[in-house]
Chain A
Amino acid sequence: MGPRNLIVAVVLVAALVSGIFVATQLQKRPVEPRTALVLPAPTPLPEFELVDQFGDAVTPATFRGQWSLVFFGFTHCPDICPLTLQVLASARDSLRAAGYQPLPRIVLVSVDPERDTPELMGRYVNHFGDGNLGLTGELVELTRLTSALGIYFQKQPGDAENYAVDHSAAVLLIDPRGNFHALFSGPHVAEDYVYDLPIIMEAE
């Protein structure tokens, strides 16, 4: 090998090595969620006690050990509440179909505890798949949870049977340590959850 060939060989090897280096760096580049806001410092849930659809107590400890997608709504809401729950269920179905683990649990917290009994919550959330939780309970306990999380709800005028409840449209992601970890503000689209959830959960 003459000196000229040696120079060419060295240049080629250098190019190859730097190419590999750049490719590795690109792969290491963190992928960001496209819609979710991940909290810089995940915050623990406040002390509260509600009940699930089985009548069992639900406290911050209930949220440990599993990812949860939490939505605030009510069963006398025929439009946006089923729409949001359907988006979450559909996202979870897509992740399941792709073999993804772990799958987050879907939790509906009633902002209408006057009408939403545990039984009603159970029938409602079960429609959107197995393993979902429907929470209801005392108004004061609900308010403890919502005020700490920045969730708004306000019952509107109407008769005893026919009234609406305004409520935050956001979906909260609670991590397996029981911390409020990320926020999906909406509008809620299944593909956004399918894209963002693995990124957020794998970053843990």
Chain B
Amino acid sequence: MRAIGLLASIVLLSACGEAPRPDLVATDVVVNRPLPGAAMSAAYLTLRNNSARTINITRVTSNAYALVQIHETTVEDGIARMRPLQKLEIPAGGAITLERGGKHLMLMRATPPTDTVSLQFYDGDRLLLTVESAYADAQLR
């Protein structure tokens, strides 16, 4: 009985030792520095949903920009368009990639410059992920 109790506590301990896998993980984060003269820029990343339910990113905030919008560039019939998206939908176990010429975060109203940019991703009011990133070095050229 005592041995079983000891075994149980070891199992519990080892379970506690494992870091919980976060529901939402960001990789390949690229935050572009605003071009000279511009107060806005763009950020790109891949978001992976490790949970068993769909995640909808409905709001993104930043320490360095007063306004962040989810945008998508499309080129159809030779016309380039940029439109705000209401949300980024990431299916259970799936991922979504924001990349140049497609979906991106539009960073607007730059606040006084910071070395690193933080981005907070919300599903409704629930903060799911905070990403910290330096500006991309070889930005654009």
Contact = CB atoms under 8 A, between A and B. Distances in A.
B40 A127 contact: no
Given A80-B82, A127-B141, A128-B141, A119 B37 contact: yes
Choose among A77, A80, A168 the residue with the greatest number of B CB atoms under 10 Å from its CB.
A80
B36 A79 contact: no
Interface of B: 32, 35-38, 40-42, 67, 71, 73, 75, 78-83, 100-101, 104, 106-108, 140-141
B107 A78 contact: yes
A122 B80 CA distance: 23
A78 B32 contact: yes
Interface string A161-203: 0101011111000000000000001110000000000000000
Nearest to A154: B79
Nearest to B72: A79
Interface residues of A, number: 31
19 contacts: A76-B38, A77-B82, A78-B32, A78-B42, A80-B73, A80-B75, A80-B100, A82-B32, A122-B37, A124-B37, A127-B35, A152-B78, A164-B81, A166-B79, A167-B79, A167-B80, A169-B75, A169-B78, A169-B80
Given A78-B107, A86-B141, A166-B81, A127 B36 contact: yes
A12 interface: no
Contacts of B73: 79-80
Contacts of A86: 140-141
Nearest to B34: A78
Interface in A81-108: 82-83, 86, 89-90
A127 to B, nearest CB: 5
Contact of A76 (B32, B40, B81, B101): B40
A144 interface: no
B75 A186 contact: yes
A137 B100 CA distance: 29
B38 A166 contact: no
Contacts of B106: 78-79
Contacts of A129: 141
B60 to A, nearest CB: 14
Contacts of A110: none
Contacts of A185: 78
Contacts of A78: 32, 38, 40-42, 104, 106-107
A169 B79 contact: yes
